[in-house]
Amino acid sequence: MASDRKEKRTRRQERKKKERTSRPATYDSGVLERLLAKVRPDMHDHYRMVYVEASRIRAAAESGSALVDDLNGFIDKTCGDWELRSRPACKAGCDWCCHQDVLLAPFERDVVVREMRRLKLEDKVEARLAEEKHFVWVPSERKKMPISPCPFLEDHRCLIYAKRPIACRTQYSLDAMPCERAVRSAMESGTDVSYERAVVPAAVGVASRNAIDRKRRVSMRDELRRAIKEGKRERGGVSRE
Ligand code: SF4
């Protein structure tokens, strides 16, 4: 019993240490300048402001999950201010943008998986992932990506809304028609039709994600599959695969 507790404590300490040490180096002006070269010139000031603030939040965060929470607060505030000025078409019940795979920044993976487990959604998510039918070829990712409802989408609402990833938080459109057209035509033709995202929230998302980590982004659906498998293995269950 005592050795179990000790083992658990050691595992917890190791996990925290890994989280801390895997945190990337903080704000780097050279990196920012290279990133700005790929951003529309009229967005530079906004992108720079978001990148610097997100880097400051990252440097101050105690852990990966605290970083995600703090960053989400900043993103909601920034996008909320923009929303008041710009009146996007997005509203509860509209879910066209939830028909694609979501790319997660490194620490978001743990936040999403923890929320799925807390809400006991593993079986539901697994069944939905197994039902995916429509895929499109995405050249920038060099792979086929699903163009079907997100496994967290239910009755046109997000089951993990409070913990949804940065990519979802910053997905705004000024007109819902192109969003619908993008999904329908991708499902019918199998070709990638990009969503027309509103520029300011998109820049907030990209700059924030880049401030966490520029390179490592993972597919949410792949990570959910992996986490469900791991959960089963830990409980001694048999994987359905
Ligand atoms: S996590 Fe939520 S907001 Fe993001 S794609 Fe899935 S259902 Fe939509």
State pLDDT tens for residues 124-160.
Answer: 999 999 988 777 777 766 777 778 899 999 999 999 9
At 228 the pLDDT is 96
Name every residue whose Cβ is closer than 8 Å to that of residue 139 and which is 6 or more positions away in sequence.
192
**Residue at token pair 């960053």:** 71
Checking if the pLDDT of 92 tops 50, the result is yes
Atom of ligand 1 nearest to the CA of 160: 2
At 184 the pLDDT is 87
Q: Whose CA is nearest to atom 4 of ligand 1?
A: 168
Q: What's the mean pLDDT in 83-96?
A: 92
Query: Per-residue pLDDT tens for 157-194?
Result: 999 999 999 999 999 999 999 899 888 888 888 776 67
- Cα→Cα distances 79→75, 86, 149, 205, Å: 6, 10, 24, 9
How many whole angstroms from 151 Cα to the centroid of ligand 1?
8
Question: Residue 23's pLDDT band (boundaries 50, 70, 90)?
Answer: very low
Query: Per-residue pLDDT tens for 60-89?
Result: 988 888 999 999 999 999 999 999 999 899
- Ligand 1 contact, 121 CB (< 6 A): no
Q: What's the mean pLDDT in 46-55?
A: 88
> Which residue among 102, 124, 129 has the greatest number of ligand 1 atoms within 8 angstroms of its CB, and so is best to mutate?
102
Residues in the chain: 241
Atom of ligand 1 nearest to the CA of 153: 7
At 22 the pLDDT is 47
User: Of residues 92 and 141, which shows the higher confidence score?
Assistant: 92
User: Could you tell me the pTM of the whole model?
Assistant: 0.80
User: Of residues 22 and 228, which shows the higher confidence score?
Assistant: 228
At 17 the pLDDT is 57
Query: Per-residue pLDDT tens for 185-236?
Result: 888 887 766 777 888 888 888 888 888 876 678 899 999 999 999 999 988 8
Atom of ligand 1 nearest to the CA of 151: 6
Return the half-sphere exposure (C-beta side, CA atoms, 13 A cut-off) of residue 43: 19
- Ligand 1 contact, 172 CB (< 6 A): no
At 125 the pLDDT is 97
State whether the Cα torsion 154-158-160-165 is positive or negative.
Answer: positive
At 80 the pLDDT is 92
